Amino acid sequence: MAAARGAVTANQGVLATDREGKQHAVALRSGQSLMRTLKYDGGLDIDAICGGNAICGTCHIYVDADWYDRLPEPEDLEAELLDQLVFTTATSRLACQVRGGPDIAGLRVTLAPQE
């Protein structure tokens, strides 16, 4: 597993699996979106074309089933976009709409395929 900046363990931050199957443990920042954490702190390949406004879908992630119900429910805009994506599953989220913080330490996600 490749630890990104600052030797974070999976239980302290988010453990993200990239599209090649490589795992990255990235520290969470309170109030910062998971998209920004994964893209800018973790260096994961997320285009984030819309800048985190739930419009582009390029930050699509799969949340581990054990974690999905522990996150706040998607709001309408996010749910509508997820409905339009090809690779959406029952545990899909837009990383730009999930806020980081200690309450989600240990979260596990996987980047969805690019559409």
Regarding 57 and contact with ligand FES (CB under 6 A), the answer is yes
SS (H, E, C) 56-100: CCCCEEEECHHHHCCCCCCCHHHHHHHHHCCCCCCCEEEHHHCEC
| 101/87 Cα distance (integer angstroms) | 27
Looking at the Cβ atoms of 13 and 52, the one nearer to ligand FES is 52
Instruction: Measure the CA–CA gap between 70 and 5, rounded to whole angstroms.
Output: 26
For residue 33, give the nearest of 42, 21, 24 by alpha carbon: 42
* Shortest distance (Å) from residue 54 CB to ligand FES: 5
* 25 lines the binding site for ligand FES (CB under 6 A): no
Residue number of the CB closest to ligand FES reads: 96
Q: Does 59 bind ligand FES (CB under 6 A)?
A: yes
In whole angstroms, how close is the CB of 103 to ligand FES at the nearest point? 21
Q: Which member of 54, 63, 98, 111 binds ligand FES (CB under 6 A)?
A: 54
Q: Which residues bind ligand FES (CB under 6 A)?
A: 35, 48-50, 52, 54-59, 94, 96
